[in-house]
Every structure is written in C-alpha cells, then in structure tokens.
Amino acid sequence: MAAREYWLGEVVTDKKFRGQGVAKALIQRAIARARQQQIAKLWLYTPDQQAYYQRSGWQAVEQRHIAGEEVTVMGLNLAQ
C-alpha cells in the first residue's frame, strides 16, 4: 500500500493572538489527526518560519519560488 502524504497549509494566526500558542496548538492538532488517519508524511512551505518548524521536527527539503516568493519546503515523517 502506498504511503499517504498530505500538505498542511494556510496556518495563520491573527496578530492579536500571536505569542499565545495558537499556531502551535493548531499544528499539533493537525499532526495528531494525521497520525489517526495513518498519514505517513506531512508537507508545508514557509518563507520565514523554518526555525520554528525545525524545533518541532520538520526537515527542510528544498527551496522553491511559489507565487513570486522564495519559500522552504519542509517535511515531517509521521510513520513509526
């Protein structure tokens, strides 16, 4: 059976709620749900939050230009 992989996108926190753990909670919930669904890997891209995601185990894979912006594609292996 082929491993299932999905993209995580559009995780944005309103400025007045930043620094309160909202984005972290959203991402952790998405990861937990992906594990429940037996998804093997999650992907995302970010222009400037590489260090934030790396602290949570995401790995930088490549640089790309998307919609005129330089971004880093990152992956998180969920398979045990």
Which domain does 25 fall in, by range?
Answer: 5-77
Report the pLDDT value the prediction gives residue 80, as an integer from 0 to 100. Answer: 63
Report the pLDDT value the prediction gives residue 12, as an integer from 0 to 100. Answer: 85
CATH number, domain of 39, equals: 3.40.630.30
| Number of independent structural domains in the chain | 1
| Residue-by-residue pLDDT tens, the chain, 80 positions | 567 999 998 888 899 998 999 989 999 999 999 999 999 999 999 999 999 999 999 999 999 999 899 999 999 999 86
Report the pLDDT value the prediction gives residue 3, as an integer from 0 to 100. Answer: 78
CA distance 47 to 56: 17
CA distance 37 to 35: 5
Report the pLDDT value the prediction gives residue 1, as an integer from 0 to 100. Answer: 52
